[in-house]
């Protein structure tokens, strides 16, 4: 009798697990990918949502306004982290620009402007001279820019971004990484809106697991 009860309990728990999986709105391998090895996050006490992006990517440009507004609604236990994709060439140049602006404390007021310069004004910002000229109205002098551009801190963050891109196993941008464990891409999510919904779902899963 006890054996029959045990078997019945195992069957019941197994069935409950199957129902839970079927009821989950998003599935691993279908709507998002599970990273084989978790990537490092900035603050272990918070759930991190990072965005892998490139200033020159038209899809990242289109995603930026919606993502920016969404990031402002995140609760206190969630940290949003933009990460420039370092895939070589112009990608690295723009990644270096991102970290240069961050080190100068000018990222908040110039991040959207850089996107607009590239995609609306056809200014690719391919070299330092073009960047210096573009950033002059924002109160950034050539000397300050060059000093930050060539700094050890900026180069170190570029190296970290390269390592993160490998850890994320991303093949394109934009993509979102939740807590270093899950990668959300447009081709799996189907839309920018769904990318954010899936991110919210995974944030909640991480919150419940803590």
Helix axes 107-119, 58-71, angle to 10 degrees: 150
Q: What is the pLDDT of residues 116-160, one digit of tens each?
A: 999 999 999 999 999 999 999 999 999 999 999 999 999 999 999
Q: What is the pLDDT of residues 30-74, one digit of tens each?
A: 999 999 999 999 999 999 999 999 999 999 999 999 999 999 999
Determine what percent of the chain falls in helix, strand and coil, rounding each to the nearest 5.
60, 10, 30
| Bridge partners of residue 28, in order along the sequence | 32
Position of tokens 């001279």? Answer: 129
Fold that domain 28-209 belongs to in CATH: Glutaredoxin (3.40.30)
Distances from the Cα of 112 to the Cαs of 62, 67, 141, 177, in angstroms?
A: 11, 12, 20, 21
Q: Name residues whose C-beta falls within 8 Å of residue 40's C-beta, 6 or more positions apart in sequence.
A: 164, 167, 180
Show me where the domains of the chain are located.
Answer: 28-209
What pTM was computed for the model? 0.88
Residue among 93, 174, 175 at smallest CA distance from 127: 93
């Amino acid at each position: 009798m006890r054996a029959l009860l045990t078997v019945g309990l195992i069957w019941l728990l197994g069935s409950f697990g199957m129902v839970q999986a079927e009821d989950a709105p998003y599935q691993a391998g279908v709507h998002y990918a599970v990273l084989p090895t978790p990537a490092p996050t900035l603050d272990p006490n918070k759930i991190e949502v990072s965005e892998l992006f490139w200033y020159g990517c038209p899809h990242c440009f289109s995603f930026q306004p919606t993502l920016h507004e969404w990031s402002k609604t995140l609760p206190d236990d969630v940290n949003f982290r933009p990460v420039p994709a370092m895939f070589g060439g112009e990608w690295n140049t723009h990644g270096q620009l991102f970290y240069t602006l961050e080190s100068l404390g000018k990222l908040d007021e110039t991040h959207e402007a850089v996107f607009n310069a590239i995609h609306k004004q056809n200014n690719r910002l391919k070299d330092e001279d073009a960047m210096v000229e573009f950033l002059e109205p924002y109160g950034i002098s050539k000397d300050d820019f060059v000093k930050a551009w060539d700094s050890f801190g900026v180069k170190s963050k570029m190296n970290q971004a390269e390592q993160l891109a490998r850890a994320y196993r991303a093949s394109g941008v934009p993509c979102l990484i939740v807590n270093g464990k899950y990668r959300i891409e447009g081709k799996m999510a189907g839309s920018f809106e769904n990318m954010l919904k899936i991110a919210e779902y995974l944030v909640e899963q991480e919150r419940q697991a803590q």
